[in-house]
């Protein structure tokens, strides 16, 4: 039907051009005009992204090669390698990102598996439980953890009352507080792609394994788990990449003791107006992010992630 409509449409257009003959050349020209018009619709979006993201980031890239005296140099990068402080920031960033990702995997995989086994109605209810924190403001959640984990906060009060600990533990303004807060914020990012993937796994495969004599745990490890790897990988990578550039939660729950790359970039600009150093850090952060996403795209195809094979 579509093809016929197109013919009628073209014929109609051609009638308005009355003088011309219906030949292949004019058909092609009309087709091309149509395509240009449609491409034009994407232009405002592209212009905005180019002007406000691509060009400024290109400029940051350029700034990262400008030294203090205003000439081209690699000093911003050599300083990053030489300086112990910068190395420590990179190590902290990777450490926090890897740990957060692992915590999310350990908490998220069983929960998602549980959800994928439930009837759709119940799974939908659990999904609301995952989406509520997803859409609650980042700041609100960070603040809530600050309240919960304080020295006189609820967590410490309960632990002391249960006599599990004798004195309140310091949870906030250090690495453990940062990890707890970040894992809470990142967990939905792991669950969503993993759940989409697990829902597409054919239950008949597991049934087949069971009927051939596999024990429940063997059926899980040899059939279900391998099939869920694309979703798990997608979730892990999203979480890891988001952690690398994270700013708000470590800034508040880390209390200045946990310094990640994004915070250093910000302080370089806000406190020291040092665009060169900030840009170089930014370029390195961006390259890591893109590298990881590139590797990810080689490992899992986007269709596998969204479950549309």
Partner 1 sequence: MNFFNAHVSETHIRLRDRLWLYIFSIIVLFLLIVPSLVVIPMSFSDSQYLEFPPRNWSLRWYENYFSSGKVGMGFNDWLGATWTSVKVAVLTIFVATPLGTMAAYGLINSSSKLRSVLFPVMISPMIIPVILVAIGLFYFYVKFRMVDSLLGLVLGHSLVAMPLVLIIVLAGLKNYDMNQEKVARSLGASRLRAFFEITLPQIKFSIVSACLISFLTSFDEVIISLFVAGGDNSTITRAMFLALRDQIDPTIAAISTILIIISSGLLLLVQLFGTKKE
Instruction: Looking at residues 133 to 192 of the shown chain, list those that interact with partner 1 (rule: CB under 8 A).
Output: 133, 135-148, 150, 152-154, 157, 184, 187-188
Report the residue count for the chain.
Answer: 309
User: Measured in Å, how far apart are the chain's first and last C-alpha atoms?
Assistant: 27
Residue 111 binding partner 1, by CB under 8 A: yes
Contacting residue, 190, 198, 209, 296, with partner 1 by CB under 8 A: 209
Do the beta carbons of residue 240 and residue 101 sit within 8 Å? yes
Count of positions on this chain that bind partner 1 (CB under 8 A): 93
Task: Give which of 171, 167, 196 is closest to 300, Cα–Cα.
Answer: 196
Contacting residue, 160, 220, 267, 274, with partner 1 by CB under 8 A: 220
150 Cβ neighbours under 8 A, 6+ residues apart: 156, 171, 172
Do the beta carbons of residue 135 and residue 192 sit within 8 Å? no
Do the beta carbons of residue 249 and residue 175 sit within 8 Å? no
Residue 213 binding partner 1, by CB under 8 A: no
Residue 21 or 121: which CB sits closer to partner 1? 121
Contacting residue, 262, 277, 280, 296, with partner 1 by CB under 8 A: 262
Task: Give which of 202, 182, 201, 200 is closest to 190, Cα–Cα.
Answer: 182
- Closest distance between partner 1 and the C-beta of residue 138, in Å? 6
Binding segment toward partner 1, per CB under 8 A, in 68-76, 82-90, 162-170, 244-252: 244-252
d(CA 298, CA 289): 14
Residue 239 binding partner 1, by CB under 8 A: no
Residue 48 or 85: which CB sits closer to partner 1? 48
Contacting residue, 19, 24, 25, 45, with partner 1 by CB under 8 A: 45
């Amino acid at each position: 039907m579509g093809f016929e409509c197109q013919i009628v449409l073209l014929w109609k257009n051609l009638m308005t051009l009355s003088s011309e003959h219906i030949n292949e050349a004019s058909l092609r020209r009309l087709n091309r005009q149509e395509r240009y018009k449609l491409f034009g619709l994407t232009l405002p979006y592209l212009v905005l992204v180019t002007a406000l993201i691509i060009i400024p980031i290109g400029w940051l890239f350029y700034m990262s090669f400008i030294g203090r005296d205003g000439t081209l140099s690699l000093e911003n990068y050599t300083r990053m390698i030489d300086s112990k402080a910068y190395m420590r920031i990179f190590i902290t960033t990777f450490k926090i990102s890897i740990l957060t990702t692992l915590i999310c995997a350990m908490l998220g995989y069983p929960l998602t598996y549980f959800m994928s086994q439930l009837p759709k109605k119940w799974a939908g209810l659990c999904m609301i439980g995952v989406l509520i924190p997803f859409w609650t403001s980042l700041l609100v959640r960070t603040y809530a953890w600050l309240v919960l984990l304080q020295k006189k906060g609820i967590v410490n009060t309960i632990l002391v009352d249960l006599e599990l600990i004798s004195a309140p533990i310091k949870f906030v303004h250090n690495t453990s507080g940062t990890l707890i807060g970040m894992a809470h914020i990142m967990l939905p990012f792991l669950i969503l792609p993993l759940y989409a993937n697990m829902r597409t796994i054919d239950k008949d495969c597991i049934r087949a394994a069971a009927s051939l004599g596999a024990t429940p745990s063997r059926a899980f490890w040899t059939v279900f788990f391998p099939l869920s790897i694309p979703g798990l990988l997608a979730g892990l990578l999203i979480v890891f990449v988001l952690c690398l550039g994270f700013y708000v939660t470590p800034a508040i729950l880390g209390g200045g003791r946990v310094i990640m790359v994004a915070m250093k970039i910000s302080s370089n600009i806000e406190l020291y107006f040092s665009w060169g150093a900030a840009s170089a850090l930014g370029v390195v952060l961006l390259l890591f992010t893109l590298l990881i996403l590139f590797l990810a795209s080689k490992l899992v195809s986007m269709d596998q992630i969204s479950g549309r094979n």
